[in-house]
Amino acid sequence: MRTVLITGATSGFGKLLTEAFLQNGDYVIATGRNLTERNEVFSFERKNHPDRFMELTLDVTQKSEIAMAAATVANRLGTIDILINNAGYGLFGALEDLTEEEIRYQMEVNFFGTVAVTRAFLPALRQTQGKIFNFSSVFGFMGFPLTSLYCSSKYAVEGLTESLRGELAPFGVQVCLIEPGGFRTNFGSNLRWSSPGAQSAYHAQFMNYKDLHGKISKRKPQQPSEVSEGILRLSLQKRLPMRKVFGKDGRLSYFLKHCLPSRVYFTLMDRVFRMVFLKAQT
């Protein structure tokens, strides 16, 4: 029986991953913010898997909570076999329209949170020659207008993970990037948008993109179980790939970015951007 720790496990991919690994017979440590005040979140797991389930309050931006979680796991279980850094959110808006607080918090959650949690559990993972899955995104390998900070945070996770692959290999610890496209999760409802006034130079772009994003969200895109079940299968492999792209849109985006000549790719994307962001408001 393996021990799996999942951050951001209260909803979306994290909740599905919790269910998938429990069904596989693993011991799951599900973490999330303010869990002591939300007993209903894991009521099913608590009732049906009392011997293989632990829930811990863990805000990845709080050093004290990370340290407490690592100490609790060490005292109760000793080590872990798999760490899944899933906690994160999206911040969309033009760079000039974002506040410094918004910018810094985006990086604190998506990047520095991943760094801090990984550092805290690396000693345990070295003992077990464990595996680390870091959630990136399609926006972790392709930039997109009005997503500069979200893209930056995920690009940073990509650089971190690629570097750790070689750094941790001598200890038998493997790492893998998870790069999902658009899936039916609560990402859209948790998405944070900037608040540009009508005087913003980016107002038209912003309104066009927000309108497009809303239309796409209503189309009920790909099922998120593809990701949770895919990660479970990856975890059972002897060797992890450097990255795994999920979703038809994700695979198409990866092909366009990495297989087309750079000049062709950016010419194509410039045309798309003009159609999406610079159309006349009606």
pLDDT of residue 279: 67
User: What confidence category does residue 184 fall into, taking pLDDT thresholds of 50, 70 and 90?
Assistant: low
* SS3 of the chain: CCEEEECCCCCHHHHHHHHHHHHCCCEEEEEECCHHHCCCCCHHHHHHCCCCEEEEECCCCCHHHHHHHHHHHHHHCCCCCEEEECCCCCEECCHHHCCHHHHHHHHHHHHHHHHHHHHHHHHHHHHHCCEEEEECCHHHCCCCCCCHHHHHHHHHHHHHHHHHHHHHHHHCCEEEEEEECCECCCHHHHCEECCCCCCCCCHHHHHHHHHHHHHHHHCCCECCHHHHHHHHHHHCCCCCCCEEEECHHHHHHHHHHHHCCHHHHHHHHHHHHHHHHCCCCC
> What residues act catalytically?
136, 150, 154
* Domain limits, the chain: 3-277
Say whether pLDDT at 218 is over 90.
no
Question: What mean pLDDT is predicted for residues 93-119?
Answer: 97
Mean pLDDT comparison of 52-56, 189-193, 248-252, highest-scoring range:
52-56
Q: In this predicted structure, what is the pLDDT of residue 257? A: 92
Tokens in use for 275?
């159609």
pLDDT at residue 70 is higher than 70 = yes
| Tokens representing residue 19 in the block | 């269910």
Residue with tokens 């366009």: 256
Query: Is residue 60 within 8 Å of 116, Cβ to Cβ?
Result: yes
- For all residues of the chain together, what is the average pLDDT? 92
The confidence band for 26, taking pLDDT boundaries of 50, 70 and 90, is very high
Average pLDDT estimate for 149-173? 98
Please state the pTM of the whole predicted model: 0.92
Least confident of 140-149, 190-199, 208-217, 234-243: 208-217
Is the pLDDT at 220 greater than 70, yes or no? no
Amino acid 86: pLDDT: 97
CATH number of 3-277: 3.40.50.720
Give pLDDT, residue 226: 93
Assign 219 a pLDDT band (cuts: 50, 70, 90): low
Percentage above 90 pLDDT, the chain: 74
Q: Is the pLDDT of residue 199 over 90?
A: no
The answer to whether residue 175 scores a pLDDT higher than 70 is yes
Average pLDDT over residues 92-116: 97
CA angle (5, 10, 14) in 5-degree steps? 55
pLDDT-based confidence at residue 281 (cuts at 50, 70, 90):
low
- For position 155, what pLDDT does the model report? 98
